[in-house]
Amino acid sequence: MTRWNDGLDEVERVSPDITDETNALPARYFTDPDVYEMEKEKVFGQYWIYAGHANCIPEVGDYYTRTIGDREIIVVRNHDDEVRAFYNVCAHRGSAMVDETPMTDPDNARRIRCPYHLWTYDLDGSLTSTPASFEDARLNPDLEDEDVAELDAGENALMEVRSDRIGPFVFVNFAEEPMSLDEQAGKMKAELEALPLEEYQLARRIVSEVECNWKTFGGNYSECDHCQANHQDWITGIALDESELEVNDYHWVLHYTHAEDVDDEMRIHDEHEAKFYYLWPNFTVNMYGTADGYGTYLIDPIDEERFQLVADYYFKDSELSEEEAEFVRTSRQLQEEDFELVERQYRGLKSGALAQAQLGPNEHTVHKFHLLAQEAYEA
């Protein structure tokens, strides 16, 4: 049952049963700035969050930065050819060490050096050197040089962030005792790792700032009841009635059957369908079924009423062919059609009229999304 802010209806928790009257998050969870501040810790500080693609840092010393909530990290390939993550915070006095460095334009460093006082770290995070002023007491008349203790390289190392991978996809987790990535990703992990994702290169990135809450777009991505009316070019090749929305513990999969068979040689996977994976809370992997490649979306919140959609496209070669460029343009058209929809929805949510929405029977993926958000808030 839809509940309005008319003083008569009260909101309730999301019911585990989609057929119950209260099957959606209260509207204020999409518009309240205090909720977004809570999400920085309860959602983005507790679950595995996508940090980037390992193929973008192929050489030892390659690194990029990533900001998640208020946490800025460095993702780097070390001397053992491992991809690891550290806070971009010097152990000396807390300075940020490297400038913002996007995954599309990574930098390379033999060491990580803080420009403030030149504390220098190896690629495994250990402290390797400090200036001479930290080794003696030349400017302090109350200390003798022999009173200055040698800095322990391990005790003064960078703070590492727990990381793990699904194929080339790097994830990080800031929780003290998180569930494993295997548990959060479920069978999605095995399905993706069975594909040769590492053989594909980042060919195009499109970043868009959208004026709505990140969960609004997440819900839109997770269903296709809106497709018939709003994606008419796309659905001409899709048999919507034969499609399936599969729900798992922390991820769901949208299976879209093509109206006609597509040449297997044109696809990274062998099934006669497009597969769109959504991994809670804000990462998708898009197996389109009509191109020899794949895409990812990062739904990256800026605040309670804005997010960035970071759309990355991977093909066999980083230089797009004419057909691949046309494919990306088609994908971009779908994004822009969705942006109009979610911004329109958010205008309505911000009006304050709606207290709690009502989901339909085929929006079980959206229902799962709302249940996970509620579970995170109450944890």
Q: pLDDT per residue over 147-162, tens digit each?
A: 888 888 889 999 999 9
Q: Please report whether residue 16 resides in a domain.
A: no
pLDDT of residue 322: 95
Q: Is the pLDDT of residue 233 over 90?
A: no
Supply the CATH number for residue 322's domain.
3.90.380.10
pLDDT of residue 1: 85
Q: pLDDT per residue over 67-113, tens digit each?
A: 999 999 999 999 999 999 999 999 999 999 999 999 999 999 999 99
Burial classification of residue 233, based on how many CB atoms lie within 10 Å of its CB (0-12 exposed, 13-18 middle, 19 or more buried) = exposed
224 and 318 belong to one structural domain = yes
pLDDT of residue 144: 86
Q: Hunting for tokens 């999605």 — which residue is that?
A: 188
Q: Please report whether residue 102 resides in a domain.
A: yes
pLDDT of residue 288: 87
pLDDT of residue 10: 87
Please compute the mean of the pLDDT values over residues 1-9 and round it to a whole number.
83
pLDDT of residue 266: 41
124 and 208 belong to one structural domain = no
160 and 202 belong to one structural domain = no
158 and 202 belong to one structural domain = no
Domain count, the chain: 2
369 and 227 belong to one structural domain = yes
Q: Is the pLDDT of residue 181 over 80?
A: yes
Supply the CATH number for residue 79's domain.
2.102.10.10
pLDDT of residue 267: 53
Q: pLDDT per residue over 18-75, tens digit each?
A: 999 899 999 999 999 999 999 999 999 999 999 999 999 999 999 999 999 999 999 9
Q: Please report whether residue 79 resides in a domain.
A: yes
366 and 256 belong to one structural domain = yes
Q: What percent of the chain has pLDDT over 90?
A: 80
75 and 159 belong to one structural domain = yes
Q: What percent of the chain has pLDDT over 70?
A: 93
pLDDT of residue 289: 77
Q: Is the pLDDT of residue 268 over 70?
A: no
Q: Which of 145, 166, 187 is the C-terminal boundary of a domain?
A: 166
Q: Which of 127, 146, 166 is the C-terminal boundary of a domain?
A: 166
259 and 366 belong to one structural domain = yes
336 and 239 belong to one structural domain = yes
Q: Hunting for tokens 């496209």 — which residue is that?
A: 313
pLDDT confidence bin for 225, thresholds 50/70/90: confident
pLDDT of residue 115: 97
Phi first, then psi, for residue 149 (nearest 5°) are -75, 145
Please compute the mean of the pLDDT values over residues 106-128 and round it to a whole number.
97
353 and 226 belong to one structural domain = yes
112 and 234 belong to one structural domain = no
Q: pLDDT per residue over 127-138, tens digit each?
A: 999 988 888 888
The CA-CA-CA angle for residues 342, 282, 32, to 5°, reads 60
Q: pLDDT per residue over 192-213, tens digit each?
A: 999 999 999 999 999 999 999 9
Residues in contact with 211: Cβ distance below 8 Å, sequence separation at least 6, in sequence order: 305, 306, 343, 346
The 3-state DSSP class for residue 134 equals: helix
Residue with the bigger pLDDT between 55 and 265: it is: 55
Q: Is the pLDDT of residue 222 over 50?
A: yes
Burial classification of residue 102, based on how many CB atoms lie within 10 Å of its CB (0-12 exposed, 13-18 middle, 19 or more buried) = middle
pLDDT of residue 150: 85
Instruction: Decide: 356 and 24 in contact? Cβ < 8 Å.
Output: yes
Q: Please report whether residue 190 resides in a domain.
A: no
Give the integer Cα–Cα distance in Å for 214 and 345.
Answer: 12
Instruction: Give the residue from 151, 148, 93, 144 showing the smallest Cα distance to 126.
Output: 151
Instruction: Give the residue from 99, 326, 306 showing the smallest Cα distance to 204.
Output: 326
Q: Please report whether residue 317 resides in a domain.
A: yes
pLDDT of residue 97: 98
Q: Please report whether residue 278 resides in a domain.
A: yes
Q: Which of 122, 151, 166 is the C-terminal boundary of a domain?
A: 166
Q: Please report whether residue 298 resides in a domain.
A: yes
135 and 210 belong to one structural domain = no
Q: What is the mean pLDDT of the chain?
A: 93
Give the integer Cα–Cα distance in Å for 237 and 257.
Answer: 9
pLDDT of residue 191: 96
pLDDT of residue 265: 43
Q: Is the pLDDT of residue 245 over 50?
A: yes
Q: Please report whether residue 358 resides in a domain.
A: yes
- Tokens coding 327: 């494919």
Expressed as residue numbers, the domain containing 346 is 195-378
